Chains A and B, each alone.
Chain A
Amino acid sequence: MRRTCVGWLLLALLVLPLGGCQLKDIDKRFFVVSAGFDQTDDPEKPYRVTLRLALTSSKVEAGTAHAQVETVDAASIAEAVRHLKSNVDKELEFGHCREFVFGRGMLEKQGFQDAMQWLARRRDIQGVSNIMVGDPDAASILHTKPISERYPGNALFLTFGNEGTEASDTVTEYMFDLYRREYETGLDPILPVARSSQHAYQINRVALLDKNKIRLILNPEETQVFNMTANDIRKAVMAMPSEKGRIVMAVTRLRSWITMVGGTDPKVVLHVRATGFLEQSPPRVLEADWHGLERRMGKRFSESTEQLLYKIRDQGVDPYGFGLHYLAIHRGRQKAWEHWKSIYPDIRFEVRTDVKIQGTGMVR
């Protein structure tokens, strides 16, 4: 009896100090909803970290989301976050931070590898975080207060992925994918570009990067083509002018795949198969020449895609992963990669688009 008592006492003594200082209630934590990284001109403190902190309330209503934005400059991101803790009254909590903004200036001059290191190492940062480029800088994105926001950070959460809006010219890039693209041979990173406009975000362009810096930013039309061919995004449109008016097809199903033809001097063939219905078109254009219309539409899409592919190739980046595809079907890893690098600047593209129009929607 006495021995068991002593045993229990010992156990209690052992258990009590376990993680005692880890216990931190939810109301003693400051939720970071988005973080931005910029570069400063000061060589001593090159990093500017901006954090958007949620001021929570038990009521959730549109327009009542309040946030506090804190900025600090430091020699590194990790130090900046530590310094920032002294500016706030509660412990910073990154568990719900899913939006990370890299300033465009930083990406053009210095690259994102330092920031990525910090993101990838922290245990509380989720792999499914969205990463984007802030244009002109990250701080401007974080200072934006969208009026539709129900709770802090909600507008940006919903923009990406399929949770809220499914815009065809918004590219979604998750942290795990960016990390993969950073290190994968033959596949280069992409990042959506966000710009703040008054009380909303405008995210309709994509930045194509080499392993570290921005090489090219596509305009919204190109971004949509890129999104359709690289990410198989549905809910996009294909448009074509005609004599009587514009013909617009809403894409309901889309699939694309890459093949390579030719041995030593390969040609990349990008196949696209799109199915949809005409959302807007002059009367009786479809009945007159159904297959002809499909062909012309495909041809037009192929041309614009080819143009885009050559534009991307000329910048020396490979966001589609053609190189990875080449490596997958050729032996001799190092040699094949050297060979691919030598032929990529002059590689030829062919886009074969197979459009299938199902009808004219509800109107017969």
Chain B
Amino acid sequence: MLKEVRDQLGNPDDLITETMDNGYTKMEFCFFPGMCDINQVKDGILVPFSYRFDPDEFRRMLHADLGFIRADKPEEWSGLLLKGFVLLQYEGETFAFGAIRKMQTKPDPTQVEASLQGPQSAYTEDLDLNLNLIRTLYNSKSLGVEWHEKNDIASQSRIMLLYDRDKVDPTTLKEVRSRLDEVDKNLILAAGQLVKLMSHKRHRMFPVILVTERPDRTAMHLNKGKIVIMLDGSRFVLLMPVRFFDFLSAMDDYYEPFWMSRFLIVLRYIAMLLTLTLPALYISVVSYNPEVFRVQLAFTIDGSRAAVPYPSFIEVLIMLFMIEALIEASIRLPRFVGSTAATVGGLILGQAAQQAALVSSIMIIVTSVVAISNFVIPNSTFSYFIRVLKYLFVAVSIFSGLIGVVVTLFMLIVYLCNMRSFGEPYFALFINEKKKKNKRNPAHQKAG
């Protein structure tokens, strides 16, 4: 066996291959020490084989213990080894012993989707632990779990499909499966990458898959009949199909008192509209329709813009470039340097730019409102999309002013109405529950 394994793997240096002899009998034995928990190997194999050797007991252990799997096919061996199994051949029989080294033993704290009063635990990079988190929160016998096997994936990332068998829409499930089959990238490292591969080319302006790190959000969506895709090694899971409005809901909306959460939802939508249109509105109002302002404001802007050498759109682009660079820098920088960067950029640069008459003082306010409002959006993917879409509005406003902004907003709504997320309308405010149930039931009877 050892020779075959060595040949299959090209004899790597980090592979231990040993023929062990305890004086009575011999055992062939190989594993990657880096991928295995050495204590488990010792307790499970080495101790029974050496110090406490009893041939009958050892044979019984190999056949009855759940940790040992029969692995008779030589072509499986290398795959098992790579997953962290220990291979051993004893009396002509080959067994794989699962001693995979687990890095994570407890759930991570939430990092991207923080919540004030909700659960604080998030997914980890270990699929089994993630599954445990979901099973704990969504403790239902109708939870369906499916492996999605793709043999040609080099990273051998395990992909798992979860759904509620009673609530899921079978046509959507079929669509998701086929879309997953179409993914032909052979190295999938993160959830975001899978999202990109699964999304339709037509749907590049808005995300159709919600990426989350929160088990409670996953459980809630499972309960609504959504489908979950989990990827080993990723702290995030994929939820689909989703609607536009799911991206603007934070889990706290479900945990806070009614009016508080309503207020926050309204605030979020206003903030999203502001961050999307404010720079464009500034350009169009300053350069095309100054009569829209109150007269005081018009005169103040006029006064403060008097020294600015560039037209309004250059001014807007300068400031937007600065703020985007700042945001990008503070994400990548280590945390303690990040705050310094924010101070330097936000306060000093903004103040200096205004005093140097490069931008007007109102523009500083516009820029900060745009940046802050963007952070109000609870989903980071969605906030990226909004950040980029804002430039479309800026471009239109340069050429056609206020009317252009209004028309673009209208076109955006038309586009959203046209969008589908895995066959379900993306911009639907109310999904007709009764109709959906009728559609689902006959299929369910057929399946059951």
Contact = CB atoms under 8 A, between A and B. Distances in A.
A152 B299 contact: yes
Contact of A27 (B306, B399, B401): B306
B305 interface: yes
Contact of B300 (A15, A20, A24, A58): A58
Given A19-B401, A26-B312, A58-B361, A151 B290 contact: no
B300 A22 contact: no
B286 interface: yes
Nearest to B294: A96
B287 A96 contact: no
Contacts of B300: 56, 58, 60
Query: Which bucket holds chain B's interface residue count?
Result: 20 to 34
A34 to B, nearest CB: 12
Contacts of B295: 33, 96, 98, 151, 153-154, 157
Contact of B302 (A23, A26, A150): A26
Contacts of A16: 399
A95 interface: yes
B400 A27 contact: no
A18 B304 contact: no
A29 B298 CA distance: 11
Contacts of A31: 290, 298-299, 302
Question: Closest 6 A-B residue pairs measured CB to CB?
Answer: A95-B291, A58-B303, A58-B304, A56-B302, A56-B299, A56-B303
Interface of A: 15-16, 18-20, 22-27, 29, 31, 33, 54, 56-60, 93, 95-96, 98, 124, 126, 150-154, 157
22 contacts: A16-B399, A19-B288, A19-B399, A22-B288, A22-B401, A23-B311, A23-B398, A25-B287, A26-B298, A26-B302, A26-B305, A27-B302, A56-B306, A57-B303, A58-B300, A60-B296, A60-B299, A60-B300, A95-B291, A96-B290, A151-B295, A154-B295
Interface string B348-361: 00000000000001
B286 A95 contact: no
B299 A20 contact: no
Given A23-B398, A25-B286, A60-B296, A124 B291 contact: yes
A86 B175 CA distance: 68
Interface in B138-181: none
Given A26-B312, A154-B296, 18 more contacts: A23-B398, A24-B288, A25-B305, A26-B286, A26-B287, A26-B302, A26-B305, A27-B302, A29-B302, A56-B299, A56-B300, A56-B302, A56-B306, A57-B303, A58-B300, A60-B296, A96-B290, A152-B299
Interface string B109-123: 000000000000000
Interface in B311-325: 311-312
Contact of B290 (A19, A93, A126): A93
Contacts of B286: 25-26
Nearest to A124: B291
Contacts of B291: 93, 95-96, 124, 126
A25 B399 contact: no
A57 B300 CA distance: 6
A58 B301 CA distance: 7
B308 interface: yes
B11 interface: no
